[in-house]
Amino acid sequence: MEIDNALSEPAVRLVEFHNAFNRNVKISFGALESVSQRALTGAAGDVLALPTGG
Protein backbone atom coordinates (compact mmCIF):
# COMPACT_ATOMS: atom_id res chain seq x y z
CA MET A 1 0.00 0.00 0.00
CA GLU A 2 1.35 3.42 -1.00
CA ILE A 3 0.82 5.99 1.79
CA ASP A 4 3.58 8.48 1.00
CA ASN A 5 1.13 11.09 -0.31
CA ALA A 6 -1.68 10.33 2.15
CA LEU A 7 -3.02 13.07 4.43
CA SER A 8 -3.35 12.20 8.06
CA GLU A 9 -6.37 13.25 10.08
CA PRO A 10 -4.43 15.88 12.10
CA ALA A 11 -3.16 17.44 8.88
CA VAL A 12 -6.67 17.59 7.45
CA ARG A 13 -7.96 19.22 10.63
CA LEU A 14 -5.11 21.74 10.53
CA VAL A 15 -5.92 22.70 6.94
CA GLU A 16 -9.63 23.03 7.76
CA PHE A 17 -8.82 25.21 10.79
CA HIS A 18 -6.46 27.34 8.71
CA ASN A 19 -9.08 27.85 6.00
CA ALA A 20 -11.81 28.76 8.51
CA PHE A 21 -9.50 31.14 10.41
CA ASN A 22 -8.36 32.76 7.16
CA ARG A 23 -11.98 33.26 6.08
CA ASN A 24 -12.87 34.83 9.45
CA VAL A 25 -9.91 37.22 9.30
CA LYS A 26 -10.85 38.30 5.77
CA ILE A 27 -14.48 38.88 6.76
CA SER A 28 -13.45 40.84 9.86
CA PHE A 29 -11.02 42.98 7.87
CA GLY A 30 -13.67 43.59 5.20
CA ALA A 31 -16.20 44.64 7.83
CA LEU A 32 -13.74 47.02 9.50
CA GLU A 33 -12.71 48.49 6.16
CA SER A 34 -16.35 48.95 5.18
CA VAL A 35 -17.16 50.72 8.44
CA SER A 36 -14.11 52.97 8.21
CA GLN A 37 -14.87 53.91 4.59
CA ARG A 38 -18.47 54.73 5.50
CA ALA A 39 -17.28 56.85 8.44
CA LEU A 40 -14.96 58.80 6.13
CA THR A 41 -17.77 59.53 3.67
CA GLY A 42 -20.21 60.57 6.41
CA ALA A 43 -22.66 57.73 5.77
CA ALA A 44 -22.25 56.21 9.25
CA GLY A 45 -25.95 56.58 10.09
CA ASP A 46 -27.16 54.51 7.14
CA VAL A 47 -27.91 50.79 7.19
CA LEU A 48 -24.74 48.79 6.76
CA ALA A 49 -24.51 45.42 4.97
CA LEU A 50 -21.41 43.59 6.19
CA PRO A 51 -19.63 40.98 4.10
CA THR A 52 -20.70 37.45 4.99
CA GLY A 53 -18.10 35.39 3.21
CA GLY A 54 -20.64 33.55 1.12
What contacts 24+ positions apart, CB below 8 Å, involve 50-53? Answer: 51/27, 52/27, 53/23, 53/24, 53/26, 53/27
pLDDT tens for 11-40 read 888 999 999 999 999 988 988 888 888 777
pTM of the model as a whole: 0.59
Phi (first) and psi of residue 11, to 5 degrees: -65, -40
18 vs 47 pLDDT, higher one: 18
> What is the pLDDT at residue 19?
95
